[in-house]
Amino acid sequence: MIGRYAKLNVYQEIFNQEDFFKLAGGAALIPVAMMIHALDISPVAGISLTQVILLVSVAVNGFPIVVEAVKGLIAREVNVDELVSIAIIACVLNGNFLEAAVVSAIMVFGALVEEAVSDSARDAIKKLVEVTPKTALVERGGKAVELPVEKIRPGDVLPVREGEVIAADGVVLEGRAAVQEASLTGEPLPVKKEAGDEVFAGTACAEGYIKIQAVKVGKDAAIGKIITLVQGAEQSQTKGARIVDRYAAWFTPVILSAGLITYLVTGDINRAITVLIVGCPCSFLLAGPVTTVAAVGRAARSGILVKGGQYLENIAGATLFCFDKTGTITTGQPVVTEIIPADGVD
Protein backbone atom coordinates (compact mmCIF):
# COMPACT_ATOMS: atom_id res chain seq x y z
CA MET A 1 0.00 0.00 0.00
CA ILE A 2 2.70 2.48 0.97
CA GLY A 3 5.44 1.83 -1.56
CA ARG A 4 3.48 0.31 -4.41
CA TYR A 5 0.92 3.08 -4.44
CA ALA A 6 3.19 5.97 -3.46
CA LYS A 7 2.64 7.52 -6.87
CA LEU A 8 0.60 10.52 -7.85
CA ASN A 9 -3.15 10.16 -8.32
CA VAL A 10 -3.31 6.48 -7.27
CA TYR A 11 -4.86 7.10 -3.87
CA GLN A 12 -7.90 8.72 -5.46
CA GLU A 13 -9.70 5.37 -5.56
CA ILE A 14 -8.05 3.83 -2.49
CA PHE A 15 -8.79 6.38 0.21
CA ASN A 16 -12.12 7.95 1.00
CA GLN A 17 -13.93 9.27 4.05
CA GLU A 18 -14.59 5.76 5.37
CA ASP A 19 -10.87 4.98 5.29
CA PHE A 20 -10.11 8.13 7.24
CA PHE A 21 -12.44 7.08 10.05
CA LYS A 22 -10.93 3.59 10.02
CA LEU A 23 -7.47 5.09 10.41
CA ALA A 24 -8.60 7.45 13.16
CA GLY A 25 -10.45 4.67 14.97
CA GLY A 26 -7.54 2.25 14.76
CA ALA A 27 -5.04 4.89 15.89
CA ALA A 28 -7.30 6.02 18.75
CA LEU A 29 -7.19 2.51 20.18
CA ILE A 30 -3.46 2.90 20.89
CA PRO A 31 -3.78 5.53 23.65
CA VAL A 32 -6.82 3.66 25.00
CA ALA A 33 -4.71 0.52 25.33
CA MET A 34 -1.94 2.49 27.02
CA MET A 35 -4.40 3.93 29.54
CA ILE A 36 -5.74 0.49 30.37
CA HIS A 37 -2.18 -0.77 30.78
CA ALA A 38 -1.36 2.16 33.09
CA LEU A 39 -4.43 1.40 35.21
CA ASP A 40 -3.13 -2.16 35.59
CA ILE A 41 -6.49 -3.76 34.84
CA SER A 42 -6.37 -7.50 35.44
CA PRO A 43 -6.68 -9.86 32.46
CA VAL A 44 -10.13 -11.28 31.76
CA ALA A 45 -10.17 -15.07 31.47
CA GLY A 46 -6.40 -14.94 31.14
CA ILE A 47 -6.57 -12.54 28.19
CA SER A 48 -4.96 -9.10 28.44
CA LEU A 49 -7.43 -6.39 27.45
CA THR A 50 -4.53 -4.15 26.41
CA GLN A 51 -3.25 -6.74 23.95
CA VAL A 52 -6.71 -7.33 22.51
CA ILE A 53 -7.21 -3.61 21.85
CA LEU A 54 -3.78 -3.28 20.24
CA LEU A 55 -4.46 -6.31 18.04
CA VAL A 56 -7.69 -4.70 16.86
CA SER A 57 -5.72 -1.55 16.00
CA VAL A 58 -3.22 -3.63 14.03
CA ALA A 59 -6.04 -5.41 12.21
CA VAL A 60 -7.69 -2.12 11.21
CA ASN A 61 -4.57 -0.34 9.92
CA GLY A 62 -2.09 -3.13 9.29
CA PHE A 63 -4.22 -5.72 7.52
CA PRO A 64 -4.67 -3.64 4.31
CA ILE A 65 -0.88 -3.22 4.09
CA VAL A 66 -0.35 -6.98 4.40
CA VAL A 67 -3.00 -7.66 1.76
CA GLU A 68 -1.29 -5.34 -0.72
CA ALA A 69 2.07 -6.92 0.07
CA VAL A 70 0.68 -10.35 -0.78
CA LYS A 71 -0.73 -8.99 -4.03
CA GLY A 72 2.70 -7.58 -4.83
CA LEU A 73 4.39 -10.92 -4.23
CA ILE A 74 1.85 -12.63 -6.47
CA ALA A 75 2.67 -10.05 -9.15
CA ARG A 76 6.40 -10.68 -8.49
CA GLU A 77 6.99 -7.14 -7.30
CA VAL A 78 9.23 -6.39 -4.34
CA ASN A 79 8.49 -3.13 -2.58
CA VAL A 80 8.43 -1.60 0.89
CA ASP A 81 4.98 -3.11 1.42
CA GLU A 82 6.69 -6.42 2.04
CA LEU A 83 9.15 -4.85 4.48
CA VAL A 84 6.41 -3.12 6.45
CA SER A 85 4.25 -6.25 6.47
CA ILE A 86 7.07 -8.46 7.75
CA ALA A 87 7.85 -5.91 10.46
CA ILE A 88 4.20 -5.83 11.57
CA ILE A 89 3.81 -9.62 11.51
CA ALA A 90 7.10 -10.14 13.36
CA CYS A 91 6.03 -7.68 16.05
CA VAL A 92 2.71 -9.46 16.54
CA LEU A 93 4.26 -12.93 16.67
CA ASN A 94 6.82 -11.73 19.20
CA GLY A 95 4.19 -10.07 21.36
CA ASN A 96 5.22 -6.50 20.48
CA PHE A 97 1.65 -5.41 19.85
CA LEU A 98 2.23 -1.73 20.60
CA GLU A 99 5.04 -1.46 18.05
CA ALA A 100 2.92 -3.22 15.42
CA ALA A 101 -0.01 -0.87 16.03
CA VAL A 102 2.14 2.26 15.89
CA VAL A 103 3.94 1.24 12.68
CA SER A 104 0.63 0.38 11.00
CA ALA A 105 -0.96 3.70 11.97
CA ILE A 106 2.05 5.76 10.86
CA MET A 107 2.27 4.07 7.47
CA VAL A 108 -1.42 4.45 6.67
CA PHE A 109 -1.42 8.02 7.95
CA GLY A 110 1.46 8.89 5.62
CA ALA A 111 -0.48 7.54 2.66
CA LEU A 112 -3.58 9.45 3.73
CA VAL A 113 -1.57 12.67 3.91
CA GLU A 114 -0.45 12.17 0.32
CA GLU A 115 -4.04 11.71 -0.77
CA ALA A 116 -5.07 14.92 0.98
CA VAL A 117 -2.29 16.82 -0.79
CA SER A 118 -3.21 15.22 -4.12
CA ASP A 119 -6.82 16.30 -3.62
CA SER A 120 -5.61 19.86 -3.11
CA ALA A 121 -3.77 19.77 -6.42
CA ARG A 122 -6.77 18.25 -8.19
CA ASP A 123 -8.99 21.02 -6.81
CA ALA A 124 -6.74 23.56 -8.50
CA ILE A 125 -7.12 21.68 -11.79
CA LYS A 126 -10.90 21.60 -11.35
CA LYS A 127 -10.90 25.38 -11.01
CA LEU A 128 -9.09 25.62 -14.33
CA VAL A 129 -11.73 23.38 -15.90
CA GLU A 130 -14.49 25.57 -14.47
CA VAL A 131 -13.14 28.55 -16.42
CA THR A 132 -14.75 27.19 -19.58
CA PRO A 133 -18.56 27.16 -19.84
CA LYS A 134 -20.53 23.92 -19.96
CA THR A 135 -22.86 25.20 -22.69
CA ALA A 136 -22.70 27.81 -25.44
CA LEU A 137 -24.89 29.37 -28.12
CA VAL A 138 -24.21 27.94 -31.58
CA GLU A 139 -25.83 29.00 -34.85
CA ARG A 140 -27.56 26.05 -36.45
CA GLY A 141 -30.01 26.46 -39.32
CA GLY A 142 -30.05 30.23 -38.97
CA LYS A 143 -30.95 30.04 -35.28
CA ALA A 144 -28.87 30.29 -32.12
CA VAL A 145 -29.30 27.12 -30.08
CA GLU A 146 -27.70 26.28 -26.75
CA LEU A 147 -25.50 23.19 -26.93
CA PRO A 148 -23.03 21.44 -24.60
CA VAL A 149 -19.50 22.58 -25.39
CA GLU A 150 -18.61 18.97 -26.22
CA LYS A 151 -20.83 19.24 -29.31
CA ILE A 152 -19.12 22.35 -30.67
CA ARG A 153 -17.11 21.60 -33.80
CA PRO A 154 -14.48 23.62 -35.69
CA GLY A 155 -16.27 25.87 -38.15
CA ASP A 156 -19.32 26.45 -35.94
CA VAL A 157 -20.41 30.07 -35.50
CA LEU A 158 -20.85 31.17 -31.89
CA PRO A 159 -22.56 34.43 -30.93
CA VAL A 160 -21.02 35.81 -27.73
CA ARG A 161 -22.87 38.41 -25.72
CA GLU A 162 -21.66 40.72 -22.99
CA GLY A 163 -20.87 38.83 -19.78
CA GLU A 164 -20.56 35.43 -21.48
CA VAL A 165 -17.48 33.21 -21.50
CA ILE A 166 -16.12 32.18 -24.89
CA ALA A 167 -16.38 28.42 -25.38
CA ALA A 168 -13.80 27.83 -28.12
CA ASP A 169 -10.68 29.29 -29.67
CA GLY A 170 -11.68 31.10 -32.81
CA VAL A 171 -11.70 34.15 -35.05
CA VAL A 172 -14.08 37.11 -34.79
CA LEU A 173 -16.41 37.26 -37.80
CA GLU A 174 -18.31 40.40 -36.88
CA GLY A 175 -18.94 42.81 -34.04
CA ARG A 176 -16.73 44.50 -31.49
CA ALA A 177 -16.05 43.61 -27.88
CA ALA A 178 -13.70 44.08 -24.98
CA VAL A 179 -12.52 40.62 -23.93
CA GLN A 180 -11.11 39.86 -20.50
CA GLU A 181 -8.13 37.51 -21.05
CA ALA A 182 -6.74 37.50 -17.51
CA SER A 183 -7.46 33.78 -17.11
CA LEU A 184 -4.93 33.04 -19.87
CA THR A 185 -2.47 35.91 -20.06
CA GLY A 186 -2.68 37.58 -16.65
CA GLU A 187 -3.37 40.92 -18.34
CA PRO A 188 -5.72 42.84 -16.03
CA LEU A 189 -7.35 45.06 -18.65
CA PRO A 190 -9.81 43.87 -21.33
CA VAL A 191 -8.51 43.60 -24.89
CA LYS A 192 -10.48 45.07 -27.80
CA LYS A 193 -11.55 42.52 -30.38
CA GLU A 194 -13.05 43.03 -33.83
CA ALA A 195 -13.39 41.17 -37.12
CA GLY A 196 -10.29 39.10 -37.87
CA ASP A 197 -8.95 39.02 -34.31
CA GLU A 198 -8.31 35.80 -32.40
CA VAL A 199 -10.21 34.93 -29.25
CA PHE A 200 -9.68 32.08 -26.82
CA ALA A 201 -11.83 29.68 -24.84
CA GLY A 202 -12.09 30.58 -21.17
CA THR A 203 -11.89 34.32 -21.78
CA ALA A 204 -14.93 36.52 -21.13
CA CYS A 205 -16.71 39.15 -23.16
CA ALA A 206 -16.63 42.09 -20.76
CA GLU A 207 -18.37 44.51 -23.10
CA GLY A 208 -19.93 44.42 -26.57
CA TYR A 209 -21.11 41.64 -28.87
CA ILE A 210 -19.23 39.44 -31.33
CA LYS A 211 -19.72 36.41 -33.51
CA ILE A 212 -16.82 34.01 -33.71
CA GLN A 213 -16.00 31.01 -35.85
CA ALA A 214 -14.65 28.13 -33.79
CA VAL A 215 -11.18 26.97 -34.81
CA LYS A 216 -10.05 24.84 -31.86
CA VAL A 217 -12.32 23.23 -29.29
CA GLY A 218 -12.00 21.07 -26.20
CA LYS A 219 -8.49 19.79 -25.46
CA ASP A 220 -7.16 21.46 -28.61
CA ALA A 221 -8.07 24.92 -27.30
CA ALA A 222 -5.49 26.96 -25.39
CA ILE A 223 -7.18 26.46 -22.02
CA GLY A 224 -7.53 22.74 -22.76
CA LYS A 225 -3.80 22.45 -23.38
CA ILE A 226 -3.08 24.30 -20.15
CA ILE A 227 -5.27 21.87 -18.20
CA THR A 228 -3.51 18.94 -19.86
CA LEU A 229 -0.13 20.40 -18.94
CA VAL A 230 -1.08 20.81 -15.29
CA GLN A 231 -2.49 17.29 -15.13
CA GLY A 232 0.66 15.95 -16.75
CA ALA A 233 2.79 17.87 -14.27
CA GLU A 234 0.88 16.31 -11.39
CA GLN A 235 1.39 12.82 -12.77
CA SER A 236 5.02 13.20 -13.85
CA GLN A 237 7.77 11.98 -11.61
CA THR A 238 10.62 14.24 -10.63
CA LYS A 239 14.22 13.06 -10.69
CA GLY A 240 14.01 12.73 -6.92
CA ALA A 241 10.88 10.60 -7.13
CA ARG A 242 12.51 8.28 -9.69
CA ILE A 243 15.49 7.86 -7.36
CA VAL A 244 13.07 6.98 -4.57
CA ASP A 245 11.51 4.25 -6.72
CA ARG A 246 14.91 2.73 -7.49
CA TYR A 247 15.88 3.08 -3.85
CA ALA A 248 12.82 1.14 -2.70
CA ALA A 249 13.54 -1.76 -5.06
CA TRP A 250 16.83 -2.68 -3.40
CA PHE A 251 16.28 -1.16 0.04
CA THR A 252 13.68 -3.75 1.05
CA PRO A 253 15.87 -6.84 0.56
CA VAL A 254 18.82 -5.03 2.19
CA ILE A 255 16.84 -4.27 5.35
CA LEU A 256 15.41 -7.79 5.45
CA SER A 257 18.93 -9.18 5.16
CA ALA A 258 20.15 -6.82 7.89
CA GLY A 259 17.37 -7.99 10.18
CA LEU A 260 18.23 -11.63 9.52
CA ILE A 261 21.94 -11.04 10.12
CA THR A 262 21.15 -9.20 13.35
CA TYR A 263 19.16 -12.17 14.58
CA LEU A 264 21.82 -14.70 13.56
CA VAL A 265 24.59 -12.72 15.26
CA THR A 266 22.78 -11.72 18.46
CA GLY A 267 20.12 -14.38 18.72
CA ASP A 268 17.80 -11.58 19.90
CA ILE A 269 14.57 -11.40 17.91
CA ASN A 270 13.73 -8.02 19.43
CA ARG A 271 16.85 -6.47 17.93
CA ALA A 272 16.04 -7.97 14.55
CA ILE A 273 12.52 -6.56 14.71
CA THR A 274 13.94 -3.18 15.69
CA VAL A 275 16.04 -3.18 12.52
CA LEU A 276 12.94 -3.89 10.44
CA ILE A 277 10.91 -1.15 12.10
CA VAL A 278 13.66 1.45 11.82
CA GLY A 279 14.10 0.47 8.18
CA CYS A 280 10.50 1.28 7.21
CA PRO A 281 11.19 4.32 4.96
CA CYS A 282 7.71 5.81 4.81
CA SER A 283 8.75 9.46 5.05
CA PHE A 284 11.52 9.09 2.48
CA LEU A 285 9.30 7.34 -0.05
CA LEU A 286 6.50 9.87 0.32
CA ALA A 287 8.71 12.96 0.29
CA GLY A 288 9.20 13.17 -3.49
CA PRO A 289 5.60 12.66 -4.68
CA VAL A 290 4.03 14.72 -1.88
CA THR A 291 6.24 17.76 -2.41
CA THR A 292 5.76 17.63 -6.17
CA VAL A 293 1.97 17.41 -5.98
CA ALA A 294 1.78 20.09 -3.29
CA ALA A 295 3.99 22.48 -5.27
CA VAL A 296 2.12 21.98 -8.55
CA GLY A 297 -1.24 22.44 -6.83
CA ARG A 298 -0.14 25.52 -4.92
CA ALA A 299 1.32 27.06 -8.06
CA ALA A 300 -1.88 26.40 -10.02
CA ARG A 301 -3.97 28.12 -7.34
CA SER A 302 -1.68 31.13 -7.68
CA GLY A 303 -2.06 31.21 -11.46
CA ILE A 304 1.35 29.63 -12.13
CA LEU A 305 1.18 26.68 -14.51
CA VAL A 306 4.06 24.23 -14.13
CA LYS A 307 4.69 21.91 -17.06
CA GLY A 308 6.27 19.14 -14.98
CA GLY A 309 7.67 18.29 -11.58
CA GLN A 310 11.20 18.07 -12.98
CA TYR A 311 11.06 21.77 -13.85
CA LEU A 312 10.42 22.62 -10.22
CA GLU A 313 13.66 20.86 -9.33
CA ASN A 314 15.52 22.69 -12.09
CA ILE A 315 14.57 26.04 -10.53
CA ALA A 316 16.98 25.27 -7.69
CA GLY A 317 19.88 25.69 -10.12
CA ALA A 318 18.50 28.72 -11.97
CA THR A 319 20.46 31.97 -11.84
CA LEU A 320 18.34 34.14 -14.14
CA PHE A 321 14.57 34.62 -14.43
CA CYS A 322 12.85 36.40 -17.33
CA PHE A 323 9.31 37.80 -17.13
CA ASP A 324 7.44 38.77 -20.26
CA LYS A 325 4.47 40.88 -19.22
CA THR A 326 2.39 42.47 -16.51
CA GLY A 327 0.34 40.13 -14.36
CA THR A 328 3.26 37.72 -14.12
CA ILE A 329 4.98 39.23 -11.11
CA THR A 330 2.24 41.69 -10.17
CA THR A 331 -1.26 41.15 -8.84
CA GLY A 332 -2.81 42.06 -12.19
CA GLN A 333 -5.39 44.26 -10.50
CA PRO A 334 -4.71 47.96 -11.21
CA VAL A 335 -6.06 50.46 -8.69
CA VAL A 336 -6.38 54.24 -8.66
CA THR A 337 -3.56 55.63 -6.52
CA GLU A 338 -3.98 59.34 -7.25
CA ILE A 339 -6.44 61.67 -8.99
CA ILE A 340 -4.86 64.66 -10.75
CA PRO A 341 -7.43 67.14 -12.12
CA ALA A 342 -6.73 69.10 -15.29
CA ASP A 343 -5.76 72.74 -15.02
CA GLY A 344 -8.73 74.89 -14.15
CA VAL A 345 -10.81 71.92 -12.95
CA ASP A 346 -11.62 71.62 -9.25
pLDDT on residue 120? 55
pLDDT on residue 37? 78
Residue predicted with more confidence, 145 or 292:
145
* Residue 211, strand partner residues: 159, 174
pTM for the structure as a whole: 0.49
Examine the domain organization and report whether 204 and 243 are in the same domain: no
For the segment 239-287, what is each residue's pLDDT rounded down to a tens digit?
A: 555 555 556 667 778 888 888 999 899 888 888 888 887 777 656 655 6
Across 57-61, 119-123, 143-147, least confident range: 119-123
Examine the domain organization and report whether 140 and 225 are in the same domain: yes
pLDDT on residue 286? 57
pLDDT band for position 311 (50/70/90)?
Answer: confident
Residues 6+ apart with CB under 8 A from 183: 131, 202, 203, 204, 223
Query: Is position 35 within any domain?
Result: yes
* Residue 44, strand partner residues: 47
CATH number at residue 169: 2.70.150.10
In the predicted model, is pLDDT for residue 114 greater than 50? Answer: yes
Examine the domain organization and report whether 209 and 243 are in the same domain: no
Please report which helix (H) or strand (E) contains residue 216, including its range: strand 204-216
Across 10-14, 81-85, 100-104, 120-124, least confident range: 10-14
Q: How many CB atoms lie within 10 A of CB 319?
A: 4
Residues noted as catalytic: 324
Residue 21 CA to chain centroid, in angstroms? 21
- What percentage of the chain has pLDDT greater than the value 90? 15
Query: Is position 177 within any domain?
Result: yes
Examine the domain organization and report whether 278 and 144 are in the same domain: no
Task: Please tell me the total count of domains within the chain.
Answer: 2
pLDDT on residue 221? 83
Examine the domain organization and report whether 165 and 113 are in the same domain: no
- Give the range of the structural domain holding residue 193, as residue numbers without chain letter: 135-230
Tell me 341's DSSP state: P
Examine the domain organization and report whether 109 and 246 are in the same domain: yes
Q: In this structure, what are the phi and psi dihedrals at residue 72, rounded to the nearest 5 degrees?
A: -65, -40
99-128 mean pLDDT? 68
* Average pLDDT over the chain, rounded to an integer: 76
325-330 mean pLDDT? 59
pLDDT band for position 160 (50/70/90)?
Answer: very high
Which of 208, 230, 252 delimits the end of a domain? 230
Query: Is position 2 within any domain?
Result: no
pLDDT on residue 138? 92
Examine the domain organization and report whether 186 and 113 are in the same domain: no
Examine the domain organization and report whether 203 and 279 are in the same domain: no
Per-position DSSP letters for 105-170, written without gaps between them: HHHHHHHHHHHHHHHHHHHHHHHHHTTS-SEEEEEETTEEEEEEGGG--TT-EEEE-TTPBP-SEE
Examine the domain organization and report whether 84 and 12 are in the same domain: yes
pLDDT on residue 1? 44
How many whole angstroms separate alpha carbon 346 and alpha carbon 344?
Answer: 7
Examine the domain organization and report whether 15 and 114 are in the same domain: yes
In the predicted model, is pLDDT for residue 174 greater than 80? Answer: yes
- Beta-strand pair 169-180/157-160: unpaired
